[in-house]
Amino acid sequence: MTAQAGGRTVAVMTQAPNPLRDIEELPDMGITLSDGCRLSARVWRPVDAGDDPVPAILEYLPYRKRDGTTARDALTHPYFARRGYACIRVDMRGNGDSEGLMADEYTQQELDDAVEIINWLAAQDWCSGTVGMMGISWGGFNSLQVAAMQPDPLKAIITLCSTVDRFADDIHYKGGCLLNENLGWGATMWSYSSRAPDPALVGDKWRDMWLERLENEPFLPALWLKHQRRDAYWRHGSVCEDYPAIRAKVLAVGGWGDAYKNAVPALVENVPGAKGIIGPWVHKYPHFAVPEPRIGFLQEALRWWDRWLKDIDTGVADDPDYRAYLMDGVRPATWYLERPGRWIAEHGGATNHLPTQTLYLTDAGLSPDAAPLSAQVCSPQDCGADAGEFCAIWLGPELPGDQRRDDALSVCFDSAPMGSDTDIVGAPRLRLTLTSDRPQAQIAVRLNHIHPDGASTRITYGVLNLSHRSDRANPATLTPGRETEVALDLDHIAYRVPKGHRIRVAVSTAYWPLIWPSPDAATLQLAAGQLDLPVRPAADKAEWTFPPPDADAPLNAESLREPAHIRRQETDLNTGIVSLVLEDDFGEIRFRDHGLTDGSIAREVWSIHPDDPLSARGRIHWTDEMGRDDWQLRTEATCEMWSDAISFHIRAKIEAYENQELIFEKAVEESIPRDHI
């Protein structure tokens, strides 16, 4: 439907009526799987669901429903329950208050368990027989993967901040380059999965469950690092291998400040009936995300569930295929509270149908006409210091800062001033003809917005391991001195470059600390280059309007220590080592409903010498604490990684304390050969 807003006609969504119902919460509903493993579920559902059955919405995660995802759960799940749904938040096996052990992410065991849960839910007398699945990040990933397994009761999913290709677009590798987030997020899971179940829920067996977990917990970064090419390990769970397998209705959501933005247009283009929404947000649900504007995500989700789980015509099938927030070009900052812009809407797919403009990399800059190019680039190893976090999530200064320093360490190509506002919507593609003096090399490409005073805002970026230039499953080294053609797609974006401002393509051979360096500092000679820039006709008004955010009551918890996030760069003037230091104190809280206290601190140091790629090193230390009254637990999880020209080296350790007494420790150390990285 349409409505008048400020004299303009804009599209708005329709909402089905949902009379509010009284709900109950079950903190520990047991779901016993066919192999005898008991999973713990937290449930919100209408009190009269036994007499008037409702659809079920499953969120299935390792992130601890008792003390991990509680803040967002409080805002979200009761909201749906009051409107006629049963929301089931399940700790997957080996995590939180569930039994069993977790071997890896997205294993077939994990997915089989989810299918069994879905079928169990559909058979309950309080369930109408239809099930939806929803989640962000891990829960967004496995929602897609489970949908591809086609359990009959699963009719619809909402996937947020997820991927369709586990090798190309997750925290492990990007463009065939090793992401340092492979170690960073692996360290997070080393810490998260080391935490104990709550005795108040699981009883006296809590300690045996905890010790079994600690003994068997794998250090996942080492496992992931043993798969440095797109092999069967990564093809498993990558739904791009078989899009038609997804028959459930898909609503995909992402954010321009997040790492996982490319899945939304991919799903819209490849899964019939899929709809996509991308806002300006980081890795958060859109009803409480930043930067603002937030949207009424819960209302939008309710329309999706009402249509596909209750067969109520809410108009979602007629919504635009793709709704994206077109961000106004603004000055660079490592954090934004708000991004000005407007919502745009596409009805014929996502962005594949949009026109492109071609600009050529030349000795005179970016030009609409082809011209000679002869440019050389060999970046210092600390180029990339202003890249920001791969996945902005902790609400600290994590976004890309002013790119001028990194630009100075790159070869740059500037356009003429834009003759009008230019709306870049889609994934820019860069094609290069180049030679390398080393068999192994990598490139990082940034598309930047250059302000009249020279400030440089990163619009989007991409990286490429040149050994993966043709085949990510079968990489091949370069022949030094031989000319080769490569192409890489930058991440999707929707960004307006104002009239009179310029764009810049910056190319570097390093991007630390976002990606691990090649073993040698390569020099690249660029002989030709072409940028295919997706440019949408300028949007002169908002093309869609969402309602303001709504939510249920916030988490009932007492703050014992406030969060604090520090990010600083250090240079040792004696050694020349450059370090990025991260200190994320997530604070400590006490849950008023069950008395558990929970707190954690993460510390990371990423160091490198500008002249030596083999000096790269990452060190991470997590402290997690939980307790109640005179019962206190703590884990200390540490890891570090370094490399030589032949191998990666990893060392990790975990220590567990009960009332300050060390009761468990385990160390892991591995060397893993480099495979074209």
For the domain made up of 23-170+242-346, give the CATH fold: Rossmann fold (3.40.50)
Averaged over 406-433, what is the pLDDT?
98
> Domain 356-536 is of which CATH architecture?
Sandwich (2.60)
Residues 188-244: pLDDT tens digits?
999 999 999 999 999 999 999 999 999 999 999 999 999 999 999 999 999 999 999
In whole angstroms, give the CA distance from residue 549 to residue 567: 30
| Domains in the chain: boundaries | 23-170+242-346, 177-228+557-677, 356-536
Question: Taking 80 as the threshold, does the pLDDT of residue 673 lie above it?
Answer: yes
Residues 254-286: pLDDT tens digits?
999 999 999 999 999 999 999 999 999 999 999
Question: Taking 70 as the threshold, does the pLDDT of residue 12 lie above it?
Answer: no
* Structure confidence at residue 395 (pLDDT): 81
pLDDT interval class at 15 (50, 70, 90) = low
Residues 80-126: pLDDT tens digits?
999 999 999 999 999 999 999 999 999 999 999 999 999 999 999 99
Q: For residue 267, give the 3-state DSSP assignment.
A: helix
* Structure confidence at residue 659 (pLDDT): 96
Beta strands 54-61 and 86-91 are: parallel
Averaged over 337-346, what is the pLDDT?
98
Can you read off the two tokens belonging to residue 307?
Answer: 């249509």
Question: Taking 70 as the threshold, does the pLDDT of residue 8 lie above it?
Answer: no
Report pTM. 0.96
- Alpha-helical regions (H) of 43-137: 70-82, 108-122
Can you read off the two tokens belonging to residue 529?
Answer: 């280059």
502-508: strand order across its sheet: 411-414, 502-508, 442-450, 456-465
Write down the mean pLDDT value for the chain. 96
In whole angstroms, give the CA distance from residue 563 to residue 148: 39
DSSP state of 338: B
**Number of residues in the chain:** 677
- Cα torsion angle, 201, 202, 207, 213, sign: negative
Residue 387, φ and ψ in degrees, nearest 5: -75, -20
Residues 624-634: pLDDT tens digits?
999 999 999 99
Q: For residue 387, give the 3-state DSSP assignment.
A: coil
Contact indicator for 361, 374 with CB cutoff of 8 Å: no
Question: Taking 50 as the threshold, does the pLDDT of residue 177 lie above it?
Answer: yes
Nearest to 266 by CA among 256, 255, 252, 280: 252
Residues 543-585: pLDDT tens digits?
999 999 999 999 999 999 999 999 999 999 999 999 999 999 9
Helix (H) or strand (E) run with residue 362 in it = strand 356-362
Question: Taking 70 as the threshold, does the pLDDT of residue 2 lie above it?
Answer: no
Question: Taking 90 as the threshold, does the pLDDT of residue 307 lie above it?
Answer: yes
In whole angstroms, give the CA distance from residue 474 to residue 467: 9
